[in-house]
A and B are shown apart, each in its own frame.
Chain A
Amino acid sequence: MVVRGLIIALLLPLFAEAQQYYGTRVAGLAVSEGSSEVPLQPIQSFPLKVGDIITSPNVRAAIQALYDTGLFSFIEVDATPDDSGTRITFRVRRHYFFSTFRLRPATLLERSISTYFRLPVGEKFSNATVDRLVQDTVELLQSEGYFGAKVSPESEFDDRTRLVRVTLNAEPGPRARIGAVRILGGEQTFSREELLDAFDVDTGSVFVATGLEQGIADLRAKFTDLGFLNTRVEVQRNYDSSANAIDLNVSVEPGPFTLVEARGYDISTDRLRELVPTFEEGTVDPDLVEEGRVEIDRFLQREGYFEAAVRSELIEAPFDNATQIIYSIEPGEQHRIETVRIDGNTFFSENELTSRMQIRPAAFLSHGGFGTDLLDQDVRAIQIMYRNAGFEGTEVSGRFSEEEHVINVVIEIDEGEQRLVSSITFLGNTVLTDADLRENLPLKEGGLFTPLVVEETRNVLTGYYYSKGHPDVRIEPAVEPPETGPGVRVTFRITEGNHYQIGTILVSGNEVTQDKIIFRHSPIYPNTPYNPEDVLDAQQRLYATGLFARVDVVTLDENLPGVRNLLIQVEESRRILVTYGFGFQEYEGARGTIEVSYNNLWGLDRSISLRLRGSRREQRFQATYREPQLFNWNLDGFASLFIERTKRRSFDANRFDFSIQALKRLSPQQNLLFTTSYQTVNLRDVRDNRQAIKIPEENGVIQIARIGGSLIRDRRDDPINPSTGSFNTTTFQVATKALASEVNFTSLFNQSTFYTPAGIGVVAASLRLGWNRTFGGTERVPISERYFAGGSTTLRGFDLDEAGPQTGGNAIVIGNAEYRIPLTKLPIQGIGAAAFYDTGNVFNKISDVRLTGFTHTTGFGLRYQTPLGPIRIDFGINLNPQPLPNGMREERTQVFFTLGHAF
């Protein structure tokens, strides 16, 4: 009986609702995650404390308070009866964060999905986000022709890092094909076959959305090219799931026929199409017509018609579905700008001012540039230059005079006064003192005031705060006149924002690359101030390794006070790369190269590459192994082996070379290279002159072991087609018997090249100096190591290796100067011309070097720009051809056809 009663009493709680705990007192509070207890976060005014009466509102408020910390994605409140009341346990689940996203199969799309849409890397995980990604992926696959695609997500949770890797498993189904293609409209202008040909989307071909867009664009362009602007092309797609085919109904509405005429001055049809943007835009509207008028006016200005008047007229004939645009031109007299003189300037040089002006004196193939509106614009531009340089009261005026179609322009400048900074004040700073902020600022009290320097100073101050871990800092400069006296007062109003430290740094997405390689290349460290510039630098350095196709360095979407945990999410690049190329050089003829490289060996950024290059005169095989951290030092190491067969004018050689190199990057533009190499050269068929008289003692196998170093400085803006900067390389090598070499000699070589813009072109100048010297009983430097000159990259008045002694020399001096200009007036883009002067020679020994021994070549050439560099044809004229031993004279002219600049 007693037992029965006890059972009933004990059963009662099972059937009571949770409300039984409301009204009881809190006997204990805990927060737990899984089986481990989490310290109760120090939340200000937590709504529930030990001893409180439990109510539904305060439990609800406690859940809200915990959720508002941003740490937890889920919270559940458990109640357990206790002797003194009720124990409350908050069971929480922390947020997880998205890291890596993969689509399987990986080869389904041409590119990674991260290039198609934004992925929420570093954001809080939610099923809703995954569902959205699945939807986006399905739509993407459908646009690629996979209309039956199904995508199922798979999320892998890492409890240690709280990162989630999402794999989107796609079942794409068969790719749809194009069904029937029907084109309606446009038959009055083109036949159906011509329209289908232009659309170029054929029945039975695989459906690709980009191909369809291109077809629409090509069809529209076909009508636009003929003058039918505003042509509309729309495609209706009908998907037949049973056949997995898409029928396309293309409707074409040709726009009105547009005729563009220039009257009063002859402008070619092609030039008119370039100037009037209606053709490029494919539509006619008054704004585009006006833009065309302005462009024609500018064109006439460049031709020297500075007083040209251009009027436009748009005539619409709706019944004929036609539009006519007439540009009526009164060119006026053709003029020439003789001089542009600037008076009164001291702060800015004439070059600095004229480089910003649109008015120009006449030059080669140019009448100059002038117009009264251009003169006004130049006056304003110069005023702005002075204002930006901190001048006050600057007055600039322009006037011109004209006599017999020759115009002279004078710009007169009264510079005014430069303002000085009377005081610099900081407001709102607490983390950094005024003294800290003033250190190394571009703006100085008593110094010159310019808006540019104020902006530079703002950037420096922002950088200070970033380095201290204040990524949200805002700095607003204010410039006011002082209360008394001249000059300006500059005040920087600072809103410092919160301070953040970097917490943990997580890495994800690397399936091959070891974490340490990623950390090595990213200069961000835990427990250091969070600096957004460092984060960006890390991203750029990781990209620069070439190991990754994509790098994201993101802050995890947590709400931790004072801490930012970072995630480095990478997508690795393909490890095996095959590259190939073709070239041409006048002596070698056609040349082909193929290279296979295997990168990121063992995930340690090591690589091995095999290269094969061949032409009718040279065949070479090269294998190179790269070690990025040689002996754990900050040195790139290379071990290289090559086997080469070469036929030069004066000798043939088979070469086997093994070398070890260490590259130290001193700066982004400066590298130091140490080399040690062992080479076996089999010299054959050494010839002294063109009659192929051989020198027997030169033939045979020679072993050369050497050690050396090179300093390379590259400050060019573009290594393929530079317009400014310089390139300098100095190499010193010693071949010595101490290294098992058969010959002893030193070799010193320097090449310095400079580029500078000049007028409409670029002036390039180069100087090459080389000196070989034997020692220790060696009589002659092997012919394979001597200097040769002549050819498309050295002295262009000579064929390859024809300058200087026929068996080469031990000293070389080559100087080149070239002026390269673009020929913009030609109908074909990318064509340029050059005029050059080459001088110098090869000498038997350094003591033979004298100016009287220099050759002199002049010449000119044409270039055509390609993405691989300019295709070049050069005509060189030897100004002082010398008599040859055979009684003939050196040839006077040479022609070279090759790829790449001479230097």
Chain B
Amino acid sequence: MSDLCTGLKLRAHRFLWIFLVASALHAEVIDRILAVVQNRIITLSDVRQERSIQLALAETATKDDAAILEELIDIYLIEAQIAQFPGIEVDEADVEAELNKIPDRKGIAVNDLRQGIRRRLEASRYFDLRFRQFINTSEVEIQKYYDEVFAPEARRRGLDPIPPLQDVARLATNNVVEEKLAHEIEIWLATVRQGSDIETFD
């Protein structure tokens, strides 16, 4: 019996050894194409880099690779649109100013961060010209925002007294504009996506 057990153990070790050696020698994917957008490739390394930039810029919470890939696709589509729209220029001084605001670059190369910031500033300029300047707000909309969003949030945070509308009108107006802008961009982006050549690879 003990001979059988020893034999089985040895065989198990042998199999485990072979398995581990084979596993160690197995090729590993270190990078690949994840998507092609209008003949521009997005790789796994691009997604990782974008994640790092977002972390450095303290942009929203952790997302998985698929979510970041979708965001990169959007960025590429926006850049393609910007290329057809003259007059979108970003001052390098503005890029540096944003760069200097970053407390912890988290080991990302400065040029990569600059590129990330430049992209965001260009997109922002583009949306300002394309959409923001045409957005208007009405008193009804601002009142609605105050009643349905600001006041409940202020209550939730324990603010007492809740600031009146006239004290926060400017903030409310800005937020309404931002919401409208986000909505316009969402619709526009959906249309651009529909007309674009996008290929993703599982």
Cβ-defined contact, B25 with A80, below 8 A: yes
Residue pairs across A and B with Cβ atoms less than 8 A apart, 25 shown, are: A6-B17, A7-B16, A7-B17, A10-B20, A11-B20, A14-B24, A56-B45, A56-B49, A60-B43, A60-B45, A63-B41, A64-B41, A74-B32, A74-B201, A76-B33, A77-B29, A77-B30, A77-B31, A78-B29, A79-B29, A80-B26, A80-B28, A81-B25, A126-B36, A128-B199
B198 within 8 A of A: yes
Contacts of A79 in B (CB 8 A): 27-30
Cβ-defined contact, A76 with B199, below 8 A: no
Contacts of B29 in A (CB 8 A): 18, 76-79
Cβ-defined contact, A76 with B23, below 8 A: no
Distance (whole angstroms) from the CB of A168 to the closest CB of chain B: 19
Distance (whole angstroms) from the CB of A75 to the closest CB of chain B: 5
Within 8 A of B (CB), among A44-73: 56-57, 59-60, 63-64, 67, 73
New A-B pairs, 16, CB < 8 Å, besides A10-B24, A79-B28, A129-B197: A3-B13, A7-B17, A10-B21, A13-B24, A18-B29, A21-B28, A56-B49, A57-B45, A59-B30, A60-B31, A63-B32, A67-B33, A73-B199, A75-B32, A76-B29, A77-B29
Contacts of A63 in B (CB 8 A): 31-33, 41, 43
A127 within 8 A of B: yes
Cβ-defined contact, B24 with A126, below 8 A: no
B79 within 8 A of A: no
Tell me the interface secondary structure of chain A in the complex. helix
B46 within 8 A of A: yes
In the complex formed, the residue of B with least CB distance to A12 is: B24
Q: How far is the CA of A128 from the CA of B37 in the complex (A)?
A: 10
Task: Kindly list the 5 A-B residue pairs having the minimum CB-CB distance in the complex, ordered from nearest.
Answer: A78-B27, A76-B32, A10-B20, A18-B30, A80-B27
Contacts of B26 in A (CB 8 A): 80
Cβ-defined contact, A21 with B33, below 8 A: no
In the complex formed, the residue of B with least CB distance to A55 is: B45
A89 within 8 A of B: yes
Cβ-defined contact, B28 with A78, below 8 A: yes
In the complex formed, the residue of B with least CB distance to A89 is: B27
Within 8 A of B (CB), among A1-43: 3, 6-7, 10-11, 13-14, 18, 21-22
In the complex formed, the residue of B with least CB distance to A60 is: B45
Q: How far is the CA of A50 from the CA of B29 in the complex (A)?
A: 18
Contacts of B201 in A (CB 8 A): 74
Contacts of A3 in B (CB 8 A): 13, 17
Within 8 A of A (CB), among B180-201: 196-199, 201
Contacts of A126 in B (CB 8 A): 36, 197, 199
Which A residues are within 8 Å of any B CB, using their own CB?
3, 6-7, 10-11, 13-14, 18, 21-22, 56-57, 59-60, 63-64, 67, 73-81, 89, 126-129
Contacts of A56 in B (CB 8 A): 31, 45, 48-49
Contacts of B28 in A (CB 8 A): 18, 21, 78-80
In the complex formed, the residue of A with least CB distance to B32 is: A76
In the complex formed, the residue of A with least CB distance to B46 is: A60
Distance (whole angstroms) from the CB of A81 to the closest CB of chain B: 7
Contacts of B30 in A (CB 8 A): 18, 21-22, 59, 77-79
Within 8 A of A (CB), among B59-83: none
Contacts of A21 in B (CB 8 A): 28, 30
Cβ-defined contact, A128 with B24, below 8 A: no
Q: How far is the CA of A858 from the CA of B46 in the complex (A)?
A: 91
Contacts of A78 in B (CB 8 A): 27-30
The tally of residues in B whose CB lies under 8 Å from a CB in A reads 28
Q: How far is the CA of A42 from the CA of B13 in the complex (A)?
A: 47
Contacts of B17 in A (CB 8 A): 3, 6-7
Q: How far is the CA of A334 from the CA of B29 in the complex (A)?
A: 93
In the complex formed, the residue of A with least CB distance to B200 is: A127
- A63-B43, A67-B41 known; A14+B32 contact, CB < 8 A: no
Distance (whole angstroms) from the CB of A55 to the closest CB of chain B: 10
Contacts of B43 in A (CB 8 A): 60, 63
Cβ-defined contact, A7 with B20, below 8 A: yes
Contacts of B41 in A (CB 8 A): 63-64, 67
Q: How far is the CA of A78 from the CA of B32 in the complex (A)?
A: 9
Contacts of A57 in B (CB 8 A): 45
Q: How far is the CA of A13 from the CA of B24 in the complex (A)?
A: 6
Contacts of B49 in A (CB 8 A): 56
Contacts of A6 in B (CB 8 A): 17
Distance (whole angstroms) from the CB of A756 to the closest CB of chain B: 56
Distance (whole angstroms) from the CB of B174 to the closest CB of chain A: 38
- A75-B32, A76-B32 known; A128+B198 contact, CB < 8 A: yes
In the complex formed, the residue of A with least CB distance to B27 is: A78
Distance (whole angstroms) from the CB of A273 to the closest CB of chain B: 45
Contacts of B20 in A (CB 8 A): 7, 10-11
In the complex formed, the residue of A with least CB distance to B30 is: A18
Q: How far is the CA of A825 from the CA of B110 in the complex (A)?
A: 85
Q: How far is the CA of A128 from the CA of B45 in the complex (A)?
A: 23
Q: How far is the CA of A57 from the CA of B111 in the complex (A)?
A: 12
Within 8 A of A (CB), among B30-56: 30-33, 36, 41, 43, 45-46, 48-49
Q: How far is the CA of A67 from the CA of B46 in the complex (A)?
A: 15
In the complex formed, the residue of B with least CB distance to A82 is: B25
Distance (whole angstroms) from the CB of B98 to the closest CB of chain A: 23
Contacts of A127 in B (CB 8 A): 199
Distance (whole angstroms) from the CB of A105 to the closest CB of chain B: 28
Contacts of A128 in B (CB 8 A): 196-199
Q: How far is the CA of A73 from the CA of B29 in the complex (A)?
A: 17
For B20, B24, B28, B46, which residue has the most chain A Cβ atoms within 10 angstroms?
B28
Contacts of B198 in A (CB 8 A): 128
Q: How far is the CA of A7 from the CA of B31 in the complex (A)?
A: 28
Q: How far is the CA of A611 from the CA of B183 in the complex (A)?
A: 70
Q: How far is the CA of A56 from the CA of B32 in the complex (A)?
A: 11
Q: How far is the CA of A3 from the CA of B17 in the complex (A)?
A: 9
Distance (whole angstroms) from the CB of A202 to the closest CB of chain B: 37
Distance (whole angstroms) from the CB of B130 to the closest CB of chain A: 25
Distance (whole angstroms) from the CB of A670 to the closest CB of chain B: 51
In the complex formed, the residue of B with least CB distance to A10 is: B20
Within 8 A of A (CB), among B1-27: 13, 16-17, 20-21, 23-27
Q: How far is the CA of A153 from the CA of B21 in the complex (A)?
A: 44
Q: How far is the CA of A89 from the CA of B31 in the complex (A)?
A: 11
Cβ-defined contact, B31 with A81, below 8 A: no
Contacts of A80 in B (CB 8 A): 25-28
Contacts of B32 in A (CB 8 A): 63, 74-77
Q: How far is the CA of A636 from the CA of B36 in the complex (A)?
A: 52
For A21, A77, A127, which residue has the most chain B Cβ atoms within 10 angstroms?
A77
Distance (whole angstroms) from the CB of A466 to the closest CB of chain B: 29
Q: How far is the CA of A424 from the CA of B10 in the complex (A)?
A: 92
In the complex formed, the residue of A with least CB distance to B9 is: A3
Distance (whole angstroms) from the CB of A806 to the closest CB of chain B: 80
Q: How far is the CA of A3 from the CA of B16 in the complex (A)?
A: 10
Contacts of A89 in B (CB 8 A): 27
Q: How far is the CA of A7 from the CA of B14 in the complex (A)?
A: 11
Contacts of B24 in A (CB 8 A): 10, 13-14, 81
Contacts of A13 in B (CB 8 A): 23-24
Q: How far is the CA of A76 from the CA of B28 in the complex (A)?
A: 10
Cβ-defined contact, B33 with A75, below 8 A: yes
Contacts of B21 in A (CB 8 A): 10
In the complex formed, the residue of B with least CB distance to A92 is: B33
Distance (whole angstroms) from the CB of B124 to the closest CB of chain A: 26
In the complex formed, the residue of A with least CB distance to B49 is: A56
Q: How far is the CA of A118 from the CA of B186 in the complex (A)?
A: 30
- A10-B21, A67-B33, A77-B29 known; A59+B45 contact, CB < 8 A: yes
Distance (whole angstroms) from the CB of A789 to the closest CB of chain B: 71
Cβ-defined contact, A14 with B23, below 8 A: yes
Q: How far is the CA of A628 from the CA of B36 in the complex (A)?
A: 49
In the complex formed, the residue of B with least CB distance to A70 is: B39
Distance (whole angstroms) from the CB of A597 to the closest CB of chain B: 45
Distance (whole angstroms) from the CB of B195 to the closest CB of chain A: 9
Contacts of B36 in A (CB 8 A): 73, 126
In the complex formed, the residue of A with least CB distance to B26 is: A80
Q: How far is the CA of A806 from the CA of B169 in the complex (A)?
A: 114
